[in-house]
Amino acid sequence: MEQVSQAPDSAPRRRSVRVFGATLLCGLLLGGAVPYVTGTDGTYLSYLVLDERADAQGADHAAEQVRAAGGQVVQAYPQIGTVLAYAGGRFAEKLRGRPGTAAVGATRTVPVPSPPRPLAGAAFDPGAPAADVAEGQEDSTATVPDPGEHNDWNLAMIGAVERPPGRAALLHPPLDRPADRSADRTGALPTAQQLSQVTVAVLDSGVDDTHPDLRAAVDPAASASCADGRPDARSGAWRPDEAINESGHGTHVAGIVGAARDGHGVTGVAPGVRIAAVRLLGPLGQYYAENIVCGMLWAADHGARAINDSYFADPWKYNCPEDADQAALIAAVGRAVAYAQRKGAVVVASAGNDAQDLTGARPDHRSPNDRTSGPPQDRELGTECIRLPGELPGVVTVGAVDRNGLPASYSNYGRGRISLSAPGGDPDGGTDGAVVSDWPGGKYAALAGTSMSAAHVTGAIAVVAAQHPDWDPDRIAAALAKAADGNCVQTLPIGCQDRDYYGAGILALPR
């Protein structure tokens, strides 16, 4: 997750980005959500096995190779010639170099006692049998009162709503028409009816579709869980797992994208859009590569025009191609992203909250983050080591700015690595400086991070797709880049030209 901090309305606690990140990570890994602590015989690791053929025949051949080497196939990804397998610790060495095998990599570093249990409906098919899923969760994130659609400096900045009277100038000039906060917007921006023809996917920790702001937005037929690398389309499987702390992140992101405009709560960038809620966060609090592959393929096959990825792939914060396991993860996620792009989706990713220059050497003191004991590896990384999926070809990678349009102190940066910037907020800014959005259980929270920035861009893509249904991903991304550049020229003619931090500029809805 790329959330920096919660920002309650009154007396927010000040904390550094790094301290908060470490605290959150410990909560995910050690807060009672780690069922697999084992070192005995008969344990398994999960592996992605890629065939040289990135198609169904390749997946069949990869599955044959897995079984011949003593592994168990848990899920096939015929769209990209890849399978998910479980096997013992030296399984990869058995397969690497075999004819037709392109890459094999362990997706985790801590073994589990067994492969996942059989899952009814484990296929890329939305018609799986229904089952009830528990709702609600306990969470440590502070919530804020219902904002009544008034804490939306972020929407005013990008031109999605009228600039609030009596407030700071922000960046974007006022719209040319009176604000109507209770009805569909008219003129240059699409109506809710037009937006309802567009589907975007939120790949995250799950989305609470019972939230009043999201009840009409989440499309059950396009939603699923990929929390163990297998698509589970049973009713409610896409909702947050109440056993995992901070699993409200996806609901917050979804609210920024498409919360309803109804006079209550918050408004999304694209109110009326259909949201495919795809839960990636598994029981260990991790976004493993197989979860990402599963979610990306599911979203692409269910018509998503944009796919929001506000996280990085676990267990390695950055994946380095010189490591055989990590090279396989790069290749597998890369195939899934390329497939989604070919199917017509713009893949959007958060840039990250480590205040690091992605074009230079940098440290990684957190990986692997799925360990259950001992310190992380102290890695010094070169530019060849990348964040997944944010630094893959064609991905729109989003940095964060605060309410004043200045680069957020936590946001990663780097010329050529940041596509554009969008409102991410200040983690210590309260409801006036962070981004207020939905939280599970009908609640609201003020958060900050590049997660929030990416969600604004995903909503903007929905707006462009509603206006131009025939545009392909490259043309949509180009339109956003052009509008962002124009926003800089009009509002921050000097500082916004620093492409290291802003990329093309600050997000603005194209007119």
Common-topology check for domains 5-32+134-316+331-354+389-502 and 45-106: no
Q: Is there a catalytic annotation at residue 204? A: yes
Buried b (16+ CB within 10 A) or exposed e, 282-319: bebbbbbbbbbbbbbbbbbbbbbbbbbbbbbbbbbbbb
pLDDT values of the chain reduced to their tens digit, one per residue, 511 residues: 776 754 443 332 222 333 333 333 333 333 333 333 333 357 999 999 999 999 999 999 999 999 999 999 999 999 999 999 999 989 999 999 999 999 999 999 999 999 999 876 544 443 333 332 223 334 568 899 999 998 799 999 999 986 554 444 444 443 333 333 333 343 578 999 999 999 999 999 999 999 999 999 999 999 999 999 999 999 999 999 988 877 999 999 999 999 999 999 999 999 999 999 999 999 889 999 999 999 999 999 999 999 999 999 999 999 999 999 999 999 999 999 999 999 999 999 999 999 999 999 999 999 999 988 888 889 999 999 999 999 999 999 999 999 999 999 999 999 999 999 999 999 999 999 999 999 999 999 999 999 999 999 999 999 999 999 999 999 999 999 999 998 887 666 556 777 899 999 999 998 7
Q: Which of 51, 204, 228, 402 is catalytic?
A: 204
For the chain, the structural domain boundaries read 5-32+134-316+331-354+389-502, 45-106
Q: Is there a catalytic annotation at residue 419? A: no
Mapping DSSP to helix (H, G, I), strand (E, B) and coil, where does residue 408 land? Answer: coil
Q: Which of 247, 310, 451, 453 is catalytic?
A: 451
Q: Is there a catalytic annotation at residue 451? A: yes
Give the architecture (CATH level 2) of 45-106: 2-Layer Sandwich (3.30)
**HSE on the CB side for 283, CA within 13 Å?**
9
Cα dihedral value 270, 271, 273, 275, nearest 10: 100
> pTM for this one?
0.87
346 burial via Cβ count (<10 Å: 0-12, 13-18, 19+): buried
Q: Which fold has domain 5-32+134-316+331-354+389-502?
A: Rossmann fold (3.40.50)
Q: Which of 61, 211, 249, 456 is catalytic?
A: 249
